Structure 1
Amino acid sequence: MSDNNSANPLRHHKGRGAASNMAGRFTDYSSTREGDGWAVTAEPLERLLTEAIEEKARSIIATNQSPDIPFTQSINPYRGCEHGCIYCYARPAHAYMDLSPGLDFESRIFFKPNAATLLEQALRRRNYRCSPIALGTNTDPYQPLEKEKGITRTILQVMQQFRQPTTIVTKGQLILRDLPILAEMAQDKLVQIAISVTTLDNALKRKLEPRTAGPSARLRIIEQLSAAGIPTTVLAAPMIPALNDCELEAILTAARNAGAEHAAYILLRLPHEVAPLFREWLAVHYPQRARHVMSLIRQSRGGKDYQSDFSQRRTGTGVFAQLLRRRFHVATGKLGLNDRRLSLDCSGFRPPPEPGEQRVLF
């Protein structure tokens, strides 16, 4: 059962992305509260607190064979994300736990305290074959809860000990806490980092990604990572038609000036429950623009809210998608982004001796 906590389904909690706690697709029924018209003023919304829920994971490395994804292994220390980005394509995963992809996703966060132990066990298996492991593929490994739990940091420490290459995608300032570890790993070609910069407009950022670092802070992250010798990519994502797509060139330019050497972009994806949640968000924040935004999205998705085909889910099809792709390539060419190929080194992977194990000298 999922309950919309607001008397008006279009009101939203301050500091949260979703406008409702809509039921997931596996829920048999749902309920909503609606005003009867007698109230002179709407009831104030209660503050929505974040609940951290411990999850004892059985395994930690997930694998995939998707042809449009540049990694085959990934780790997600957390389920759900307090950043509250309304567009997050990981939201539907909360439905598998009978929770809402809406407010539950950003306020009921599962953490895996045994992640580092499981990773070490996996890396010591005789049949393990080293390939880069991606961190932050679903939810941000440097979301606010990481400051308290430190799970991502312990994972990085294990990776450094094993000389296991990793890639990281984040929009969290907390990554700078681990700068010393990351800089050392970068010297051995063991880490690459992508910083997501969705907009340079603080007002839009507060609505779109309510609990994330601001645009200026993210550019400073790129600057400090690059200065430390860490290969850094700017991820201009998602590009949303008639909302932030006009900023594409400005985002790439600002990131290049901050030290980014590579760039990528993704057209907005609206799988499963993300589509109705995004439409609710538009109705709250951009009601006069909502129809136009959704029209351009459908024009780029074969007349639908979303298409899952591997060949087009990241970039879309149609005139708008083709123009966006062309703009990206022209801008990156002028800025000298993506001129140098990124590579990680798996050749140095070595499980360190276990406690009490004698080192082999010859």
Structure 2
Amino acid sequence: MSNPLISFLTGLGSRRVVETVLPRRTLEEVVLPPQTRRTLEQALAQVRNHALIFGRWGLGERHTAGRGLVFSFAGPPGTGKTVCAEAIAHALGLKLLIVNYAEAESMWVGQTPKNIVATFQAAAEQNAVLFFDEADAIATRRSAGAPTPHSREMNLTVNVLLRELESFNGIVIFATNLAANFDPAFERRIRTHVLFEMPGVEERARIWELQIHPKKTPLAPDVDFRRLAERYELSGGDIKNAVIKAASGAAAEPGADLGKRIHQRHFESAAEAVRSARGIMQQSLFTEEEGAASDPVSAWLKMQARWQTTILVAIGLSGAALVAALVAVALVILH
């Protein structure tokens, strides 16, 4: 019988927050730095030896809780975290249950803990790898300050998630761009941390090539993927976007379709556009100091100082307005 929560959440059209995927991508299709690939292979070995360790070797009789396999995929956007989660599920012959908590949070107000439990139940029922995208949104540090309705719910959500991880005997993958935001309690529950770094020149050249259909994509003779890899330090996701932009630019040029080709200039223009867009998205609100985004404490102190100055100015203006009003009233009375 299908889980009613999953049936509801997966019926939201394009804004799906929980989605069951039948994996098609494999690890052979993913271009990764050598160290990242080795760590992923070690993670897979843990999964494949799970039954041996906890079954035939008897550790399951000694350790009834915390037997699940929890992995953390941490790194910048576009470095292959989601693709690798799908590839791992494919290698194990399992479904992938994707939970995008950032999409779900606003809808789950007041019901988040219950739905977290239901999500784990769904993963167990479907024998699926449970994948939390943007996991720092749900595994965030618990608040120790004055309780508010929001902080109480967030703390309860984290507590429930930690409890479910202890009792779950399956595979959970957390993907995040902000691993530092995780609550410290997750550290001992995460079996393996996989760091996804920006690809090097060799990896980028290979990623450019893999985005192109080997037979159907019409490339001009001047295309040089190695030169593109050397010139543009882009993530795999950025390269994918650049290839599509380049193809769109070439297709939009006048002339018969049969004569159109994607030239090096199309790829370079697209790469410049993607790099420019990324720069805009990474701009800090604290414009006078570039390092503010990387130093959140300093950024907060500066923002707090701004607000204090603004409040003082507002108080001063309000006081001046009050004095002016009193003077006006006094003049009216004297007349």
- TM-score tier after normalising by the smaller chain length: under 0.3
Higher Rg: 2
What is the TM-score with the length of structure 1 in the denominator?
0.26
After TM superposition, the score normalised by the length of structure 2 is 0.28
